[in-house]
Amino acid sequence: MTNKGEEAKQRFLSGQNCAQAVLGAFAKDFNFDEKTALTLSACFGGGLGRQREVCGAVSGMCMALALKYAPQDPTDHAAKAAFYARIQEVCNRFKEENGSIICRELLALPPGSSVPTPEKRTTAYYGTRPCPDKVKSAAAILEAYLKEQEK
């Protein structure tokens, strides 16, 4: 793995949503089909279909972490607890670095529904959104976390 933050940011800038960009940056590292990764993560853009809930970059980060650490036995409560602790750790790191894991808070939007139609990706769009940097942050946090776990 090398510079996953920048890779994820470039993926976002090329049109992938925030979740796709982060999960896509890690898919090959976990021998996961990229097309499947992009398909599964498509619904998480805009904080779950533009509902502005959990940031898609955070969702992508957690999905990538699951590819490595999710327990295979659903009855293994200790493994599930250990996995959830990992998820909380990376989410807390994201929150510390970015102030929140909630899309609407990161975008400084009021509570409430958002229209489902995504905005066109233009220079003006990218100029008003922190999303490329949030995607980069999520991927960099996960990359650093995975490197720490290798030690």
> Does the pLDDT at position 111 exceed 90?
no
Tell me the average pLDDT across 10-15.
Answer: 96
* Closest by CA position to 38, among listed 55, 56, 50: 56
Checking if the pLDDT of 131 tops 80, the result is yes
Domain that holds residue 146: 4-150
Question: How large is the angle between the packed helices 77-98 and 56-69, nearest 10 degrees?
Answer: 150
In total, the chain counts a number of residues equal to 151
**Per the structure, how many domains does the chain have?**
1
- How far is residue 129's CA from residue 5's CA, in Å, rounded to a whole number? 17
- pLDDT class of 148 with cuts at 50, 70, 90: very high
- Token pair of 87 as six digits: 């998820």
Mean pLDDT of 56-72: 98
Helix (H, G, I), strand (E, B) or coil at 102: strand
- Can you spell out the DSSP letters for 18-83? HHHHHHHHHHGGGT--HHHHHHHHGGGHHHHTTS--B-HHHHHHHHHHHHHH--S-TT-HHHHHHH
